[in-house]
Amino acid sequence: DAKTTQPTSMDCAEGRAANLPCNHSTISGNEYVYWYRQIHSQGPQYIIHGLKNNETNEMASLIITEDRKSSTLILPHATLRDTAVYYCIVRSNNNAGNMLTFGGGTRLMVKP
Amino acid sequence: GAGVSQSPSNKVTEKGKDVELRCDPISGHTALYWYRQSLGQGLEFLIYFQGNSAPDKSGLPSDRFSAERTGGSVSTLTIQRTQQEDSAVYLCASSLVTSGRGNEQFFGPGTRLTVL
């Protein structure tokens, strides 16, 4: 799987949009971008994933650049409960049993 | 609907004892994964199941670790003769399929194992 690079930490004011960047310049054509988060003392939580088109669900939006070398996860109205470590992962959807490998992630702190 | 559940949530044991950790995946999910996470560390893959079979056991740290899955549902991870370095949070995840659409993994809350 391609390597990803994320900032170590970010702060966001409650109610504002949180924009979390991820670089994946070595991504290959069949690799998807996945985002998970892990709130303290909980298991990781799936957020969203995409290939090349922008995606939106009830939790977040995923914006992928045209060259697919970077992406941004957007939490439109961050709440205190969104404080967590956010992991950007690049993986192929074609490999059976492809386990997840988390890097360092971005520690997002949502402040009142 | 119900998510992935794990039991016990916490387990404290003495060095040398055996422990058994249980995972109930989301109903209908064919794939099941075991990971562990040491304090402040990332996920370490242990093993995954497709149905009842485990095609990839490469992540098991030693022969003291074993896992099984019966009926394509519940899985148990067994650690024999526990050591202090086995202390970690053991996480279970399940997915509808292992590849293609629907392979996003959903995690349980984990079992925190402490070996004294």
Q: Do A44 and B45 touch (CB under 8 A)?
A: no
pLDDT at A2 over 80: no
* Of A42, A46, A93, Cβ closest to residue B105: A46
The partner residue sitting opposite B99, judged by closest CB among A94, A100, A102, is A94
Q: Are A93 and A81 in contact (CB under 8 A)?
A: no
Q: What is the mean pLDDT of chain A?
A: 91
pLDDT at A97: 60
Residue B57 is predicted with a pLDDT of 82
Where is mean pLDDT largest: A8-17, B49-58, B91-100? A8-17
Q: Please, which residues have CB within 8 angstroms of residue B62's CB and are 6 or more apart in sequence?
A: none
- On whether the CB atoms of residues A4 and A90 are closer than 8 A, the answer is yes
**Interchain CB contact of A35 with B (< 8 Å):** no
- Residue A78 confidence (pLDDT) above 80: yes
What's B33-101 look like in SS3? EEEEECCCCCCEEEEEEECCEEEECCCCCCCCEEEEECCCCCEEEEECCCCHHHCEEEEEEEECCCCCC
pLDDT digits (tens, 9 = 90+) for B30-83: 999 999 998 877 888 899 998 899 888 888 999 999 999 988 899 999 999 999
Q: Under an 8 A CB cutoff, do A97 and B101 touch? A: no
| A21 pLDDT higher than 90 | yes
Give yes or no for a contact between B11 and B88, defined as CB atoms under 8 angstroms apart.
no
Please write the tens of the pLDDT for every residue from B8-35: 999 999 999 999 999 999 999 999 999 9
Cβ <8 Å between B99 and A96: yes
Closest approach of chain A CAs to the CA of B23, in angstroms? 13
Q: Would you call A43 an interface residue with chain B, using a CB distance cutoff of 8 Å? A: yes
Judged on CB neighbours under 10 Å (0-12, 13-18, 19+), A30 is exposed
Average pLDDT of every residue of chain B: 91
Question: Under an 8 A CB cutoff, do B93 and A43 touch?
Answer: yes
Read off the pLDDT of each residue in A19-33 and give the average, rounded to a whole number.
92
